[in-house]
Structure 1
Amino acid sequence: MSVAEQKKTRIIILGGGFAGLHAAIHLDDTLARDPDVEITLVNRDNFFLFTPMLHEVAASDLDLTNIVNPVRKLLKRISFFAGEVESINLERKLVTVSHGFDHHHHELPYDHLVIGLGSITNFFNLPGLEQRALTMKSLGDAIHLRNRLIAHLEEADTECSAALRRPLLTFVVAGGGFAGVETIAGINDFIREAVHFYINLREDMLRVVLVHPGNVILPELGEKLGRYTEKKLAERGVEILLNTCVIGLTDSGVQLSTGEQIESKALIWTAGTSPNPVLDSLPCVKERGRLKVDEMLRLPDWPGVWALGDCALVPDHKTGQFHPPTAQHALREGKTLAKNLIANVRGGTLKPFSFSTIGQLAAIGRRTGVANIFGINFSGFIAWWMWRTIYLSKLPRFEKKLRVALDWTLDLLFTKDLVQFQTFRAPTISHADEGESNSSLSTSGVTAEGALESVS
């Protein structure tokens, strides 16, 4: 390492979600211009996933590539490292990252570390869930779910036994928050439209069930909008089981806290998340696995270490509580952290993070939505239009905005696509008389991790 490189201030950002990426974008236009500063963003995927639209990929409303943005097209001056964060050594100021096909390790030294590693799905050690349940956290999850829905319809269409067909046509979503409601609304619309293309199936054979532990779904929006959502989903054929928990999943079905069992081959789990397990070994103050930071987004007792997003507990001086782990908070935390990092490097004054929720929205299917904006409730078409308008405006890059808008326009004119993407290597075919071999590769369903796997 040269003397010039040793003098550089090294900043590493871990995580390319809403929080980490927006911190990087702001630094890319400011501090990254300084030749004495070296900034690196580390993320497992080489893209930013716009998660609010994830359920629309699963429901075949949007093309899978239209809700992701290549990180390298978003950042001009910041270096990008595609890899998995394996460990963080705060004492030595080193981050270990695995990378490449052979998962070899790199050690990245830093002067400032920004931790924005997000969250993972939490199955709460319930039997059978981790092995059998579907999830909705990544692009691969959405592709896998869409393929499973189609696979179930395909198998059920040729299944002679009603007893075997029933669990194939029963779909259960656990969790009545935003992710669960938007997921079940989307897949319900999808399969009820798709079933008409299967000559041996009827819509009345479908069963779609939402299981929620509380007494109203979408509790964040209040009881009125929650009841409205329940009514609309019920009108569209969704069964809603309130005050009920999923307690297990077996080959025969979904086990409920009421003692009942739903015969189903598809459980979509959206009922819990937990912080990235990489944080478990860090010798710093945590609560329920999340890093406690001060109002400046700094980690106490560890100078030069910052945290934000889902993995951080950010104090709200207005309420005395903590800011919720939402996308609108995360992107603003990213901007505030970037400004404070600049101030720290250049000797300026740091400012506390402060933000009040503007509102929350949910799309509940068939051009219907619910929203609470500045304390005012909206429902129906106007809320659905607000959902699309607001989130489209937040999607990075004009190209992606245009592609999504075109997808939505085409969705108004045509039925949903039923192509089942599969990713596999076909067996090599030997041509003995020609002395050559041939193989084919289908890559339509590459997962979020970029690995080739069967997602049917």
Structure 2
Amino acid sequence: MTLVNQDNFFLFTPMLHEVAASDLDMTHIVNPIRKLLKRVQFFQGQVEQIDLESKRVDVSHGVDRHRHQLEYDHLVIGLGNITNYYNLPGLEEHALTMKSLGDAIFLRNRLIQSLEEADFECTDARAPLMTIVAAGGGFAGVETIAAVNDFLREAVHFYKNLNARDLRLVLVHSGPVILPELSEKLGRYAAGKLGQRGVEIRLNTRVLGYRNGIVDLSDGSQVPAKTLVWTAGTAPHPILDTLPCKRERGRIATDRYMEVPAWPGVWAVGDCASTPDPRTGNPYPPTAQHALRQGRTLARNLCASIRGEAKKPFLFSALGQLAAIGKRTGVAQIFGMNFSGFIAWWLWRTIYLSKLPRLEKKCRVALDWTLDLLFSKDLVQFTTAHKAELRSREFAPDMLELKS
């Protein structure tokens, strides 16, 4: 059994915004795949091509991106999704995202860099540095802007020339209420709390472009901002377009067992799969709780297929959803019941801490949260860039000199 992934770790994405806001250490929400799956052969690389007819996967890795070919009897496709910028001008080049650990670290560095720069700028040049725009009122956008707001309003007191009144945080959402995945009541509660804490919410508004440090909005207004966080769209992985199998809204269409029709031994799971609910015929939503259960059912069905046994359809009803909205408050909808305020925030932390793999990481995150109650947030800016000549340089054997 071989697992291919571009990173050698599993990222627990629900806590990503806490890394960006300096609440958690960046290594505490990731688990090394080699420790998680000790009996699985792991290959760190990028999937370049999938040949269903030849039963072969082309993978590239290394500095020179050389290729390997992996043959298979059974193939499980779980490529997830990518950010969709909808071809809006300037977004792909300049907007930040919140999908990877690198994204969270980059956003954290950008926030601290903006504070450092603004502390020595004149008033006119300071405003764009102190303005943060988040596009997308779903879970990622709301949790990110809430965490960033808490971080900046605490951090700004350490900069002698800055004031919390200089901060401007804007959440742009195309719908009439944020967090549409939850009830309208919870969405309005979350919007009210964010508004009380200084977050400006633009409803029924879309980002049209981001050029020269200015965010263009659909209501005709412009927001000068050095930082735009884009969480307003996803798209299926482009490799799926190359596969000769049926797709629904870009995702691979599977049967109720998560196997791809007409391609025995090929399975799809998670965000890249469209698996029908046998009770309604509609595809399951691409959420983490569905993907987790799909993975378990798929594993059983794959083993059953190898043994010639009967497979079982995937059946699951969502348990609920939660969102942290800053200042130890949250919103949650669990088993049809609404929770808000401190109890929802406590549920968020308790449930997600229980879902975090490995006891070691659970303890480290719990310790981070405890220390966060006692000490102020860290303002260290991590620098990861290398000199240009070292980035482009390849070390050849004749470059190595041994001296006795």
TM-score tier after normalising by the smaller chain length: over 0.9
Tell me, yes or no, if structure 1 residue 215 matches structure 2 residue 176: yes
Q: Secondary structure of 2:181's partner?
A: helix
Residue in 1 that maps onto 2:75: 113
Supply the AA of the counterpart residue of 1:151.
Answer: Q
Residue in 1 that maps onto 2:37: 75
C-alpha offsets along residues 407-430 of structure 1, whole Å, 9 cap, x if unaligned?
A: 0000011110000001134699xx
Post-superposition offset of 1:322: 1.1
C-alpha offsets along residues 377-422 of structure 1, whole Å, 9 cap, x if unaligned?
A: 0000000000000000000000000000000000011110000001
> Where in structure 2 are the equivalents of 1:225-240 lying within 5 Å?
225-240=186-201
Change beyond 3 A, Cα 1:252–1:45: closer
Post-superposition offset of 1:100: 1.0
Residue in 1 that maps onto 2:339: 378
Tell me, yes or no, if structure 1 residue 277 matches structure 2 residue 207: no
Residue in 2 that maps onto 1:447: none
> Where in structure 2 are the equivalents of 1:184-333 lying within 5 Å?
184-333=145-294
Post-superposition offset of 1:310: 0.3
Output the CA distance in 2 between the equivalents of 1:58 and 1:252.
Answer: 21
C-alpha offsets along residues 187-232 of structure 1, whole Å, 9 cap, x if unaligned?
A: 0000010000000000000000000000000011110000000000
Residue in 1 that maps onto 2:27: 65
Residue in 2 that maps onto 1:412: 373
Post-superposition offset of 1:347: 1.3
Post-superposition offset of 1:243: 0.1
Supply the AA of the counterpart residue of 2:323.
Answer: A
Moved more, 416-425 or 235-244: 416-425
C-alpha offsets along residues 107-135 of structure 1, whole Å, 9 cap, x if unaligned?
A: 10111000000001100000000000000
Tell me, yes or no, if structure 1 residue 334 matches structure 2 residue 288: no
The number of equivalent residue pairs is: 391
C-alpha offsets along residues 340-371 of structure 1, whole Å, 9 cap, x if unaligned?
A: 00000111110000000001000000100000
Output the CA distance in 1 between the equivalents of 2:264 and 2:31.
Answer: 32
Tell me, yes or no, if structure 1 residue 343 matches structure 2 residue 304: yes
Post-superposition offset of 1:288: 2.1
Output the CA distance in 1 between the equivalents of 2:44 and 2:213.
Answer: 40
Residue in 1 that maps onto 2:59: 97
Supply the AA of the counterpart residue of 2:31.
Answer: N
> Where in structure 2 are the equivalents of 1:439-454 lying within 5 Å?
none
Structure 2: state its 5+ residue gaps: 392-404
Output the CA distance in 2 between the equivalents of 1:331 and 1:40.
Answer: 19
Residue in 2 that maps onto 1:453: none
Supply the AA of the counterpart residue of 2:195.
Answer: A
Residue in 2 that maps onto 1:403: 364
Q: State TM-score, norm by structure 2.
A: 0.95
Post-superposition offset of 1:278: 1.0
Residue in 2 that maps onto 1:147: 109
Output the CA distance in 2 between the equivalents of 1:425 and 1:259.
Answer: 41
Supply the AA of the counterpart residue of 1:104.
Answer: H
Output the CA distance in 2 between the equivalents of 1:96 and 1:231.
Answer: 50
Output the CA distance in 2 between the equivalents of 1:45 and 1:107.
Answer: 19
Q: Secondary structure of 2:53's partner?
A: coil
Residue in 2 that maps onto 1:352: 313
Output the CA distance in 1 between the equivalents of 2:377 and 2:144.
Answer: 16
Q: Give the alignment's Cα RMSD to 1 decimal.
A: 1.3
Residue in 2 that maps onto 1:35: none
Output the CA distance in 2 between the equivalents of 1:219 and 1:194.
Answer: 31
Q: Secondary structure of 2:321's partner?
A: strand
Q: Secondary structure of 1:220's partner?
A: coil
Output the CA distance in 2 between the equivalents of 1:241 and 1:217.
Answer: 10
Q: Which residue among 88, 91, 94 is the counterpart of 1:132?
A: 94
Supply the AA of the counterpart residue of 1:184.
Answer: I
C-alpha offsets along residues 249-308 of structure 1, whole Å, 9 cap, x if unaligned?
A: 011310001111101111000000111111111011012211010100000110110001
Change beyond 3 A, Cα 1:412–1:163: same
Supply the AA of the counterpart residue of 1:51.
Answer: T
Identity across the alignment (%): 70
Q: Which residue among 25, 29, 43 is the counterpart of 2:5?
A: 43
Q: Secondary structure of 2:88's partner?
A: coil
Supply the AA of the counterpart residue of 1:413.
Answer: L
Output the CA distance in 1 between the equivalents of 2:8 and 2:388.
Answer: 30
Change beyond 3 A, Cα 1:95–1:203: same
Supply the AA of the counterpart residue of 1:77.
Answer: R
Q: State TM-score, norm by structure 1.
A: 0.85
Structure 1: state its 5+ residue gaps: 1-38, 429-438, 442-456
Output the CA distance in 2 between the equivalents of 1:57 and 1:139.
Answer: 8
